[in-house]
Structure 1
Amino acid sequence: MDATLASLPSDANHRVAERAFTEAGWSRCGAGDWAIALRSPDGSAAVRISPFDPTGPYTAALYREAAHTRQVPHLFAHRRLDGGGDLQIMEWLDAVDEPTAAAFHRALAAREPFVADLVDVVRRIHALARRELAWCGPLDTNPSNVMRGADGRLVVADLFYADGPDLYATAASAPDTVVARIPEAERRFMTEIPLAASGPWDTASRAAMRAGLAAADARYRRMPNAGSPRLN
């Protein structure tokens, strides 16, 4: 995996990344609303590749800073991709039954002693994400986010997410608001997320959103304060 990651050019986007890992023998094993996943040839790791994921760096920070709890996935590598995408390589995880997942989420919400250290890291990084990101959502309590490592331990993944319904509704109805808050370089591929769970998303709607954002970007570049920091 190190060689494949090192082979990516500095301006690699999600399409380039997927092609590189596929050519290295990784196989697609799933897709969600924000990302696809590929499994390594030996089955021990997975790579999550997203065209657009503002919360990716915060998720990676959680995996690193809460590693001592052994209640988050082992993160092998994290890299931002051109246009606002995100790539994470982590240990392979298996699904657990819904009651087990729900119980783990309840323990997190109640800050039970066996997850207290994890909760403290989660709350600190989530608070930072809420301060720094426009459209950062609440913690995700989807049962599918609780999984089991090969060693049998329970872990929680993908707790942070962008508020997609609000963000994409705003992009469609008020693109200037999105342009004012998220630089174009960080949302270039926002219409290319898979939406495997919430879709389908028709081609015409995607094209209309891209056109609306492009027009708003052109208007923004003509503004006197175009180089100023973005609003959150």
Structure 2
Amino acid sequence: MTTEAGAEAGRDADALALVAPGADHTDAEAALLDAGWTRCGAGDWAIALRSPDGRVAARISPFDPVGAYNVALYREAAGTGQVPALFGHRRLAGGGDLQVMELLASVPEPEAVAFTQTVQSSGGELLEVAHRLHDRLSRELPWPGPLDFNPTNVMRRADGRLVMMDLFALDGLSLYQTAETDPDLFVVRFPEHERRFMADIPIATTGGRQEEQMAAIRSAVTAADARRLAQQP
């Protein structure tokens, strides 16, 4: 590890140390904001914060069952240079997820589309790792989504190279529809401690639902949890 990389890794270990054990997504955001981090965006199911020196990002999600799979991709495919550099990861209370990684920049759509096509047609290591992890995700989680080669998931590193991120996702439309229309089935398939804050993800990524609908989903799932608990010996 170079001196620069070692210093960077040290800073990011410090970033995780700012977040207390047992913290949820609101605690994690508050801890980093108090330390001088600033909000720099919101995307699929998460917000992003920028470190005080502008070189590191923290991705914080209230509800991200696939976070560990994306982290595994970044670690196992690091040698390809086609995924972000990951500096730290923490599962948060209630099903949230905190990832600390290099700060990335957006990419014009034509360039992003071309990159996704190259990755998918290359048959290279990144694609092999992605398919292997996706097979595992599909066995382990309910409502798995397909590999997400959306061009918006292509970002640019500081050195100009392009990377793929957030390749794994659940079928959010089916997941939230089930929670809304059949909450008793939903609570059986998804443990409460892994989706406590499912109604708190950014509204723009929930299939067009509004805050009132998310509040109704929260109430329906809470009631289903209570019914299930009452039925237990």
Change (3 A) 1:7 1:147: closer
Query: 1:202, CA displacement in angstroms?
Result: 3.5
Residue in 2 that maps onto 1:61: 72
Q: Does 1:216 align with 2:216?
A: no
Q: Does 1:70 align with 2:84?
A: no
Secondary structure of 2:119's partner? helix
1:95 and 1:169 mapped to 2: Cα distance? 31
1:176 and 1:163 mapped to 2: Cα distance? 19
Change (3 A) 1:3 1:109: closer
8 Å contact kept, 2:154–2:165: yes
User: Higher helix proportion, which one?
Assistant: 2
For normalisation by structure 2, the TM-score amounts to 0.90
Greater shift in the superposed pair: 196-205 or 160-169: 196-205
Secondary structure of 1:166's partner? helix
Runs (5+) with no aligned partner, structure 1: 227-232
Residue in 1 that maps onto 2:204: 196
Query: 1:2, CA displacement in angstroms?
Result: 2.5
Secondary structure of 2:131's partner? helix
Secondary structure of 1:94's partner? coil
Residue in 2 that maps onto 1:167: 175
8 Å contact kept, 2:203–2:210: no
State the one-letter code of the partner of 1:169.
Q
Runs (5+) with no aligned partner, structure 2: 1-11
Q: How does 1:37-52 map to 2 (within 5 A)?
A: 37-52=48-63
Secondary structure of 2:87's partner? strand
1:160 and 1:195 mapped to 2: Cα distance? 19
8 Å contact kept, 1:31–1:196: no
1:72 and 1:202 mapped to 2: Cα distance? 33
Match of 1:147 among 155, 158, 165: 155
Greater shift in the superposed pair: 170-179 or 98-107: 98-107
8 Å contact kept, 1:32–1:195: no
Secondary structure of 2:105's partner? strand
For normalisation by structure 1, the TM-score amounts to 0.90
Match of 1:18 among 9, 24, 29: 29
Give % identity.
56
Residues 61-112 of structure 1 show CA distances to partners (whole Å, capped at 9, x for unaligned) of 00001111111000000110000000001101111121111112112222x1
1:74 and 1:4 mapped to 2: Cα distance? 15
Q: Does 1:158 align with 2:166?
A: yes
8 Å contact kept, 1:55–1:136: no
8 Å contact kept, 1:69–1:117: yes
- How many residue pairs get aligned? The number is 222
1:199 and 1:32 mapped to 2: Cα distance? 13
8 Å contact kept, 2:45–2:205: no
Match of 1:178 among 186, 189, 208: 186
8 Å contact kept, 2:90–2:99: yes
Residue in 2 that maps onto 1:229: none
